[in-house]
Structure 1
Amino acid sequence: MRKLKNFIFLTIFTVLLSCNGTDNYNLGIYNARQGNQEKAIEYFTKAIEDNPEYSDAYYNRAYAQQLIGGKEKQIISDYNKSLELNPNDNEAHMNRGLVFMKMGENDKAISDYKKSIEIKSDYPIVYANLGNAYKLKGDNEKACENWKKSLELGNRNVELRLNLNCE
């Protein structure tokens, strides 16, 4: 019986001490899915501390903060690091573009959206966002062109924008 207790104690102790970046990352994902973005950010931060090359942890920390709002410079920094480690992440380009657009940096947003499209050309929401950025810049022709492409790819959410702004 004593051996069993020692085994159980050692097993629990080992599990607690062996929490690594992947475990913290998974706890971050769990909390994010539960809607607890603040706690998710804490776990993604721990995962990054455990493994500074964990691109998904940077991406998800940025996304969780983006859902909360605020701290745009930190969000951009996390997306930058995520893209440094994984430059072909179309979602990171798109989401960083959203932050740039929120900050009024529409040229940077357009650049990110174009890069996202270059990586994955059949993603309708990126075309919608690109259209929105062009509209904010006053380029109605390019806005309509991208909203039409978004609709062609199945995004019906752009129909009102097309009806109000395009021929």
Structure 2
Amino acid sequence: MTFALVVFGCNGADYYNLGIYQARQGNQEKAIEYFTKAIEVNPKDADAYYNRAYAQHLLGGKEKQTISDYSKSLELNPNDNEAHMNRGLIYMKMGNNEKAISDYKESIRINPNYSIVYGNLGNAYKLKLDNEKACENWKKSLELGNENVRPRIKMNCE
């Protein structure tokens, strides 16, 4: 069975929805194309920037573009704790732990009950060889329900 989709006169929301569909299908390259078209139609679409960044994040290898898209998303929607956390992950991957820590702290300021970001903040402190702050954040992450940090606590904090 062959399926063809012909799109005439799409608006930004149409392209955005096609991008979401492609991303959910695991086709990140095609999703990026649609999010890019959505941004061309509506350059103030914070969600399109966020989702293009996330698709690039999943593919890897385009860290500067991913940072740029997360940053644009945050310029348009500064209280997006997920965008702060995800940009922090990219900064950490690039070895910029100070910027990662700053983003993680901002994510926590926006949503202080987000267990995963405390785990990531602990990881960034561990990379800076600050075991005390790493353990403090991993323990907070565990307290909020993130069981994934338990091995790190056991290995580094007890």
TM-score, structure 2 as length reference: 0.95
Residue 162 (structure 1) shift: 0.3
Q: Distance in 2 between matches of 1:64 and 1:121?
A: 26
Task: Write the letter of the residue equivalent to 1:153.
Answer: L
2:39: which partner in 1? 48
Give CA deviations for 1:38-58 in whole Å, capped at 9, x if unaligned.
Answer: 000000000000000000000
- The two structures, once aligned, show a CA RMSD in angstroms of 1.1
Alignment of 1:52-91 (within 5 A): 52-91=43-82
Q: Distance in 2 between matches of 1:147 and 1:23?
A: 41
Give CA deviations for 1:98-126 in whole Å, capped at 9, x if unaligned.
Answer: 00000000000000000000000000000
Runs of 4+ in 1 over 2 A off after TM superposition: none
Residue 81 (structure 1) shift: 0.4
Task: Write the letter of the residue equivalent to 2:112.
Answer: S
Task: Write the letter of the residue equivalent to 1:134.
Answer: Y
Task: Write the letter of the residue equivalent to 2:99.
Answer: K
Question: Is 1:150 equivalent to 2:123 in the alignment?
Answer: no
Q: Distance in 2 between matches of 1:86 and 1:16?
A: 30
Q: Distance in 1 between matches of 2:8 and 2:43?
A: 21
2:111: which partner in 1? 120
Task: Write the letter of the residue equivalent to 1:124.
Answer: S
Q: Distance in 2 between matches of 1:60 and 1:149?
A: 28
Structure number with bigger Rg: 1
Q: Distance in 1 between matches of 2:119 and 2:76?
A: 27
Residue 94 (structure 1) shift: 0.1
1:161: which partner in 2? 152
Task: Write the letter of the residue equivalent to 2:19.
Answer: G
Give CA deviations for 1:59-111 in whole Å, capped at 9, x if unaligned.
Answer: 00000000000110000000110000000000000000000000000000000
Question: Is 1:16 equivalent to 2:8 in the alignment?
Answer: yes
Q: Distance in 1 between matches of 2:27 and 2:144?
A: 33
Question: Is 1:28 equivalent to 2:19 in the alignment?
Answer: yes
% of aligned pairs identical?
A: 79
Task: Give unpaired runs (5+ residues) of structure 1.
Answer: 1-12
Task: Write the letter of the residue equivalent to 1:128.
Answer: G
Aligned length: 153
Task: Give unpaired runs (5+ residues) of structure 2.
Answer: 1-5
Task: Write the letter of the residue equivalent to 2:127.
Answer: L
Query: Which SS does the other structure have where 1:24 is aligned?
Result: helix
TM-score, structure 1 as length reference: 0.90
Query: Which SS does the other structure have where 1:73 is aligned?
Result: helix
Residue 16 (structure 1) shift: 2.0
